[in-house]
Amino acid sequence: MSAPLCRILYVEDQPDIRLVAKMALEVVGKFTVVACASGQEALDCAPHASADLLLLDVMMPGMDGPGTLQALRQLPATADTPVIFMTAKVQAAEVALYKAMGALEVISKPFDPMKLSDQIRQAWAARA
């Protein structure tokens, strides 16, 4: 059996969304969350975050979620870390693209803070 999901590196450029999701994941889900406001901040935090999972917003200024994932894959600490994308763009073609990039799941925004942890746990459990 694989290790439990404990630490999430979460990247979201919108401060209000980042705060709500971080609180939901920590209070409801009992996860440890390292929250970053940009792809570059995630790259700076990743080597020391010991993340079990990457949770990435898709649409961000500068480095978007897919670009952030591509950069994180170059770092030894996150080269094989599972990823989930969060986005308002959940048309079938976009979801297929994110899954082709290796995403365990694509969570639509706006998300339900009370269900977010369960959505992540389900994707985590189904990854094997």
Q: How many domains does the chain have?
A: 1
Q: What is the pTM of this model?
A: 0.95
Q: In this structure, are residues 57 and 12 in contact, taking their beta carbons and an 8 Å threshold?
A: yes
Instruction: Please check whether residue 126 lies inside any domain of the structure.
Output: no
Supply the CATH number for residue 91's domain.
Answer: 3.40.50.2300
Instruction: Give the domain range for residue 48.
Output: 7-115
Answer yes or no: is 93 within a domain.
yes
Using DSSP's 3-state secondary structure scheme, residue 42 falls into helix
Sorted by sequence, the CB contacts under 8 Å of residue 100 that are 6+ apart come out as none
Q: Which amino acid is at 95?
A: V
* Predicted pLDDT at 5: 81
The pLDDT of residue 4: 74
| 121 in a structural domain | no
Judged by DSSP in three states, 110 sits in coil
The per-residue pLDDT for 1 is 41
